[in-house]
Amino acid sequence: MLELTGITAGYDRGRPVVRDMSLAVADGEALGLLGPSGCGKSTLARVAALLHTPWAGSVRLAGETVTGHRFRAPRHQRTAIGVVFQQPRLAADPRLRLRDLIAEPARATGRGRELADRAAALADAAGLGAELLRRRPHEVSDGQLQRACLARALLLRPRLLICDEMTAMLDASTTAALVALVEDYRKEQGAALLAVGHDRVLLGRWCDSVREWDGDGNPAGAELLTQE
């Protein structure tokens, strides 16, 4: 499904955050990326989500080589990946009501009408009632907002879901609800998952395999842990 080969990426010239890193997620597989803060796992996730242009290395998505990132990536490649970010506050446009937030990708791709029912069903599955859907991001809790962000990420039926510390800011019951929502979706669509986090227990239970690297910021020395 997704293949990253020899990725080197960073933000400031000459100081790479990710160095020569490779990674593959098979169709339907759930891979966890585990590591301390600042080790580059989020940067790698952003490269995988086609949101950050790597300095070197190649990205292959569903057998196609990705030739550009962000706006340069063709729309079908971008929408094949659903992304959930760590901080829902920052990942939600403060002016959009939750209803519009969830429907946003459908409207951006000109499928607003076609996917209206799916948006409603997802909001319902995420436990967001009609009253909540009328509110704006600053009027709901982090957990409620993250549910809406997850619904938004699932709207276009992505074949790969990337969750970058999706539950890091949330309590245990909301975490469980969100993970259950992701798992229901994956069972239904056979989608792959790349989950980034630092919660060893959660990722260990959630993912088929977990890739961990230590805190020296050098992911080249990563080891592979496989869970039953």
Partner 1 sequence: MATTHPPTPATEPEQPWHTPAHERRGTRKVRVTTSAALVATAVAAVLLVPLLFPLDQQAIDLTSRLLPPSWDHPFGTDDVGRDLLLRSVYGLRVSLTVGIVAALVAAALGLAVGCVAGAAGGRTDRLLMRLVDTFAAVPHLLMGIFIVAMFRPGVWPVVVSVGLTHWVSTARIVRAEVLSLRTRPYIDAAISGGAGRRRVVLRHLMPAVLPQAGLAAVLMVPHALWHESALSFLGLGIPAHQASLGTMINAARGPLAAGDWWPTLFPGLFIIIPTLAIAGLAGAWRERINPRRRSELVL
**Binding residues for partner 1 (CB under 8 A):** 46, 49-51, 70-71, 75, 78-79, 81-83, 85, 87, 90-95, 104-105, 108-109, 149, 152-153, 155-156
Q: How far is the CB of 21 from partner 1 (least distance, A)?
A: 20
Nearest residue (CB) to partner 1, 138 versus 226: 138
Q: How far is the CB of 220 from partner 1 (least distance, A)?
A: 26
Nearest residue (CB) to partner 1, 73 versus 132: 73
Tell me the pairing of strands 192-197 and 56-61: unpaired
Q: How far is the CB of 106 from partner 1 (least distance, A)?
A: 8
Tell me the sheet residues that pair with 18.
9
Q: How far is the CB of 91 from partner 1 (least distance, A)?
A: 4
Q: How far is the CB of 43 from partner 1 (least distance, A)?
A: 13
Contacts of 59 (CB under 8 A, 6+ apart): 2, 3, 4, 5, 7, 47, 48, 50, 65, 66
Q: How far is the CB of 195 from partner 1 (least distance, A)?
A: 16
Q: Which two tokens stand for residue 4?
A: 């990253």
Q: How far is the CB of 94 from partner 1 (least distance, A)?
A: 8
Contacts of 97 (CB under 8 A, 6+ apart): 133, 134, 135, 136
The residue among 31, 174, 184 whose CA lies nearest residue 121 is: 184
As a whole number of angstroms, the distance between CA 141 and CA 41 comes to: 26
As a whole number of angstroms, the distance between CA 44 and CA 151 comes to: 23
The answer to whether residues 7 and 44 touch, using CB atoms and an 8 Å cutoff, is: yes
Q: How many residues does the chain have?
A: 228
- Neighbour tally for 37: CB within 10 Å: 9
How many whole angstroms from its chain centre is CA 114?
Answer: 24
